[in-house]
Copies of this chain bind each other. A is one copy, B any other.
Amino acid sequence: MVEKFDVLVVGAGFAGLSAAIYCARFNLKTLIVGNVWGGLIITTHVVENYPGYKSLSGYDLMQKFKEHVEYYNIPFWEDQIESIEKKREGKFFAKTMEGKEIEAKTLILATGTTRKNLNVPGEKEFENRGVSYCATCDAFLFKGKDVVVVGGSDSAAKEALLLSEHAKSVTVLVRSSFHPEPINGTRIAQRKNIKVLIGVEVKEIAGKEKVEKVILKNGKELIVQGVFIEVGHNPQTELAQGLGVNINEKKEIPIDRYSRTSTEGVFAAGDCVDTEWKQGIVSAAEGAHAANSVYNYLNEKGLLVKRNGK
């Protein structure tokens, strides 16, 4: 049986949940489909830059978003969209991995990103045996150990800061430029057990049962028990590509200020779009804009059904 909605929101992070809240406030029949409540941010140890929340974990912040969504009784399917087709103006047809079928008048793609791999020998072999992609999840396993963080972004800096509270030493391995948020750069400079090496590249992760060392391209070896990889993200835009939505050279979805894509009826928000600077607050605003644009679109096309809401 095909279930019908005014709008299908794909993704349940900052952008998707904010979009869903606003869609519900517009009395639109809304469905959220996502792998996981909250998106990637739930693995972040401390969030201090969502205005209005001074400091809390990514998980706790997303619990607040979840409560907000649940207040409007918006259905959430913990599932994944396998395919979407545009049948005609105002009619999209989607299938989920679990085999459910959805018809929706509009789409909001808030599909976020996936973490990039380093693609060096040893990375796969030692995953969960010293190689990790999430300091929040695994930092406590490295109490008193020596670890490296690979990457030069603010996310890498935050991983290093968290790890330095557990590990004996943290070495940040940066290929070209180290560019944390200044506040985190300062914190790193003040942390005695963090060292930053710039202009180095990992050649191999080696060991027997577990990680024992990292071999750099310059031939040096670092004796470590943990390798945290934070080398960026890939936008998840396969669904958009399948729909024929324009994509830029970074595989992001270009949007305008009102979260409209190149395809009528398809809106996008959050880390999968071409906004230069990715932030939770920015994603939430893009989600809100997407909802408003959906509402305007349905109005213009005469596709809006009046319903009584909460």
Q: Chain A residues in contact with chain B, CB under 8 A?
A: 14, 17-18, 21-22, 24-27, 48-55, 61, 64-65, 67-68, 71, 181-183, 186, 189-190, 257-258, 275-277, 279, 281-282, 284-289, 292, 295, 308-310
Contacts and interface: CB of A to CB of B under 8 A. Distances in A.
Contacts of A190: 308
Contacts of A309: 182-183, 186
A48 B276 CA distance: 29
Nearest to A304: B182
B277 A281 contact: no
A183 B282 contact: no
Nearest to A28: B182
A189 B307 CA distance: 12
A119 to B, nearest CB: 30
A17 B9 CA distance: 30
Top 8 nearest A-B pairs by Cβ distance?
Answer: A285-B285, A27-B182, A18-B51, A52-B64, A25-B183, A54-B68, A282-B285, A51-B284
Contacts of A71: 54-55
Contact of A292 (B54, B277, B310): B277
5 contacts: A18-B51, A25-B48, A25-B183, A279-B288, A281-B281
A261 to B, nearest CB: 15
